[in-house]
Amino acid sequence: MAEQETQAEERRELLNDQFRRPERNLWKDAFTQLIANRLAMGSIVVIFIVFFIAAFGPFLTPYDHLYQDWDNIAQPPTRLHPLGTDELGRDMLSRILAGGRTAIMVAVVTTTMAFVLGVLIGALGAYMGGYVDALVVRTIDFLQAFPHILLAVFLAATLKPTFIRFGDALVQQYGIRALGNTLYLDYLLIFAVLGITGWPNLARLVRGQVLSLRATEYVSSAQVVGAKEWRIIVHHLVPNALGPVIVSLSASFGGAMLTEASLSYLGLGIQPPGASWGMMIAENLVQWRYRPHLVVMPGMVLFVTVLAFTFLGDGLNDALNPRMLTPSGQK
């Protein structure tokens, strides 16, 4: 008898071993899906390159992006200047690399701000309910009623003189010459504007997620079992809400770059001689007929970068949103 039982046991284990499936969870699934998505992987490569450029770009070129080569003005690509020079004799490659630094810095800072503000305000509204929630929702509605860029433009135009005054006051009070460089103020202005316009999307998302997750059965059962509030937040709310938030962050990263470029293009963002892709396009647009490469190059770089973030966002959305999948696994 005993022998038979052990034999059956062994056979069962053998079967189990044969048919054991690898352990799966949301993150592993998402990762495998993302790896399989060629478009998303390509985007990740592009994004890595852009980040690398932002970090080390200025060390890679022999020219400073402000250096004017008076012997080679408005040249098409040559061996000396691989991407040519603009009408002031500045090396286009150096300027594009410097512009990448601007774009990434703005995107990182403003996305972080949008993330912190959005999650805090959204969660606050969902948790407090009542008047606080109503106030949060109305504020979001108000900010989203305006076209995004138009609101950013309006804010930038109204805040700008205040920032300039602020800078002047700092210089006069503390006598720090470095603060007189208005480039810092341009950055601050853009951070402020994109900080204000960036969070409502995320706040709405987080609020909706928290509200709907709190109504799910597993949260109620956790409450019934007597789990503490922080445990529910850490173990149930955060992991489940994280997917959509990550997708939205990827999208808002590209969006922040685009808004910065638009503002700089319109003359409200980074001012010359600073480097920003949007501003470079605006500077060279007058000569599109005679020196098209001066417009095309920053334009292409901006386009490829933003496109990479869009495709990455799509890939993340497909990977992190299991409900998108139909039974056959087709989208």
Partner 1 sequence: MELLQEAYWDEELRERVRHSLGLDRPFIVQYGEFLGRLMQGQLGYSILSGQRSINVMLAKAWPKSIQLGMVGMFFWFVSGTILGIIAARFHNRAIDYIIVSTTVAVSTIPTFVLAPMLMIVFILRLGWIESSIGWEGIFSQKIILPMMLIGFTGTAGLVRQWRSSILETISQDYVRTARAKGLTERLIIVRHVLRNAFTPILTITAASLGGFITGSIFVEQIFNIHGFGWLVWQGIIGLDYPVLMITTLFSAAIILFMNLVVDILYGVIDPRVRVGERARR
In angstroms, the CA 78 to CA 9 distance is 76
**Binding residue for partner 1, selected from 49, 157, 192, 238, defined by CB under 8 A:** 157
**CB neighbours (10 Å) of residue 114?**
26
According to DSSP, residue 215 is labeled: T
From candidates 19, 59, 79, 145, binder to partner 1 by CB under 8 A: 145
Residues with Cβ within 8 Å of residue 157, at least 6 apart in sequence:
268
Kindly identify the residues of this chain, within the stretch 3-62, that bind partner 1 according to CB under 8 A.
Answer: 39
**Tokens representing 13?**
């284990």
Does the protein bind partner 1 through residue 150 (CB under 8 A)? yes
187 lies in the binding site for partner 1 (CB under 8 A) = no
Interface with partner 1, residue 160, by CB under 8 A: yes
And the tokens for 168? 């002047």
Strand, helix or coil for residue 209: helix
C-beta separation of 322 from 240 below 8 A: no
Choosing from 32, 78, 158, 216, the residue that interacts with partner 1 (CB under 8 A) is 158
Q: Which of residues 288-317 bind partner 1 (CB under 8 A)?
A: 288-289, 292, 295-296, 299-300, 302-303, 306-307, 310-311, 314
What the block records as the tokens of 175 is: 């006598």
Using rule CB under 8 A, residue 258 touches partner 1 = yes
Residues near 99 by Cβ (< 8 Å), separated by ≥ 6?
275, 276, 277, 279, 280, 298, 301
Least Å from the CB of residue 149 to partner 1? 4
Q: Which is nearer to partner 1, 162 or 172 (CB)?
A: 162
List of residues contacting partner 1 (CB under 8 A): 39, 145-151, 153-154, 157-158, 160-162, 165, 254, 258, 261-262, 265-268, 278, 281-282, 285, 288-289, 292, 295-296, 299-300, 302-303, 306-307, 310-311, 314, 330
